[in-house]
Amino acid sequence: MHQLAMTQRAQQFQQEPIFEVSERGNRVIVIERESGDWEAGCKASINGIKARLQQGLASKQRVVSNHAPEIALECTLYLSNKCNLRCRYCYSRDVRNVKENGETMSLDMLKKVVPAVLSMNWKAVNFFLYGGEPLLDPNLVTDAISLIHHENTHYRKRVSFSIETNGTLFTPENIAIIVAADVHVGVSMDGPPAIQNRNRPTKEGRSSYDMVVHGLNLLQQMRIPFSITATIVQPCDLESVFDYLLRFQWTPFIRLSPMLPEGNALQITSNQSCNTSQEALASAHLRVVDRMLANNRYSHFKVHCGNIASMVNNLVTDMRPDFCLKSPCGAGYGMIEFHPNGDIVTCDKTYYRSELGVLGKINDIEHPRDLQSLYDTSPLRRMIASRTVDTITLCKDCAFKRFCGGGCSLGSYLKFGTFAREDVLCEYRKRMFEGLLWRLQDNPYNALLLMKPWLFSQGVSL
């Protein structure tokens, strides 16, 4: 029977298993590289672990499909390029010009975009309302949502809405609009006043902290659930940002996203006393994970950090909901974005590299149904879709490839000038996945404490 299981398994992966071993003291974690199955144990049991992995008896996960058809299309509508802030890491290279004189998406443009998106093959569409700053024109937010609902009476797709805002322009009136339309609210905010004001000044160069805090207070008073995404410019900020978010308890839902070196961010020079290496970034992030575990175990205020939860998810399940942690990444399949001038791209991170071009222009589409064939045949999208962990030289031999997915297509392009290489933050990702694996083997509850901490709110003893 074991022989049969081994034969089926060898056929499934078309090769002999390849084991990667991480050792700490007397403990080992063994990963079967091609499947992503892993198991931990003591050193003396390593042969038994390998045998179980080989026979499929120790499976922790199996990546069946990254792109199941029932997964929703992620559609971002950049309602306006204009913004009242001048974040120093903005991806836009010509940030002052774009944010000052940028365009706003017209209603006519929306009327072309929305039916075309709804007629694509996906059964569900998650609409993201982005900018610039989308709340500079709340009426446009309302118009876009009304139009989508109106058109969808014909297409009958499952739709959801999210808005990402810098949080400085909330009023009771625009919050009421958001609530009425059942829109998930994401606020970009970098934490303590010194970091927020340094990273995200107003266009006049003034502090934005008090404006955001005013907005967060309003959201709390009106009992609106929301998430906060903090961009981490340098590793030495990470722990103080986390401590701030934990102390102020604006929301349990946070993301701590390392900055991508693109656009304005290329000009940033870090504090000289800060170690900016990827090793330092991973160490700081893993220290935050330890604090989060301790907090989620003992505190009533449990924190869910989206990007950590996604990594843990990839270590313990076969689902790949995070578009930046799948192979190919979402820029290759499952994402589409529209800019106010009608440009169509898959991921905005590729948009600011003009030499990459775009998928097309919405004005060039005669019939809504033509968007799907434009998407299917776009050379840029197909090139990114062909970028998988099994085609990238370094990734295909990486112990963590089934968890990482090869990382960001644009991150590869930025560093190496090609999509065919590993992520710009590859070393950080390796250290994160290995560090998380060790934390998961420490305590079987740790995965849930990071992915679904609210399950422990009833005081389960660990």
Which residue ranges make up the site for ligand SF4 (CB under 6 A)? Answer: 323-324, 329-331, 335, 347, 349, 389, 394-395, 398, 400-401, 404, 406-411, 422-423, 426, 429-430
Minimal distance, residue 406 CB to ligand SF4, in Å: 5
Nearer to ligand SF4 by Cβ, of 208 and 314: the residue is 314
For residue 95 the two structure tokens come to 């940030």
Minimal distance, residue 408 CB to ligand SF4, in Å: 3
User: How many of the other CB atoms lie within 10 Å of CB of 83?
Assistant: 23
Q: Which amino acid is at 307?
A: N
Nearer to ligand SF4 by Cβ, of 127 and 244: the residue is 127
Nearer to ligand SF4 by Cβ, of 175 and 395: the residue is 395
Q: What Rg value do the Cα atoms of the chain yield, rounded? A: 23
Q: Which amino acid is at 131?
A: G
Minimal distance, residue 387 CB to ligand SF4, in Å: 9
Nearer to ligand SF4 by Cβ, of 39 and 434: the residue is 434
Nearer to ligand SF4 by Cβ, of 192 and 357: the residue is 357
Nearest to 430 by CA among 397, 399, 451, 457: 399
Minimal distance, residue 212 CB to ligand SF4, in Å: 24
Nearer to ligand SF4 by Cβ, of 226 and 323: the residue is 323
Nearer to ligand SF4 by Cβ, of 228 and 426: the residue is 426
Q: Please state, in angstroms and as integers, the Cα–Cα distance from residue 402 to each residue in 22, 313, 436, following that order.
A: 16, 12, 14
Answer for the pair 303, 292: CB distance below 8 angstroms, yes or no.
yes
Minimal distance, residue 36 CB to ligand SF4, in Å: 11
Minimal distance, residue 414 CB to ligand SF4, in Å: 10
Nearer to ligand SF4 by Cβ, of 167 and 406: the residue is 406
Nearer to ligand SF4 by Cβ, of 19 and 445: the residue is 19
Minimal distance, residue 337 CB to ligand SF4, in Å: 10
Half-sphere exposure of 281 (CA within 13 A, CB side): 20
Question: Residues near 174 by Cβ (< 8 Å), separated by ≥ 6?
Answer: 135, 138, 141
Answer for the pair 424, 415: CB distance below 8 angstroms, yes or no.
yes
Minimal distance, residue 194 CB to ligand SF4, in Å: 28
Answer for the pair 435, 282: CB distance below 8 angstroms, yes or no.
yes
Half-sphere exposure of 445 (CA within 13 A, CB side): 12
* Helices and strands, number each (H, E), in the chain: 18, 13
Nearer to ligand SF4 by Cβ, of 304 and 430: the residue is 430
Minimal distance, residue 289 CB to ligand SF4, in Å: 17
Give the Cα separation of 100 and 4 in Å (integer). Answer: 66
Give the Cα separation of 30 and 19 in Å (integer). Answer: 6
Give the Cα separation of 110 and 83 in Å (integer). Answer: 20
Answer for the pair 90, 348: CB distance below 8 angstroms, yes or no.
no
Minimal distance, residue 76 CB to ligand SF4, in Å: 11
Nearest to 331 by CA among 393, 365, 402, 380: 380
> 462 in helix, strand or coil?
coil
Phi, psi of 259 (to 5 degrees): -65, 140
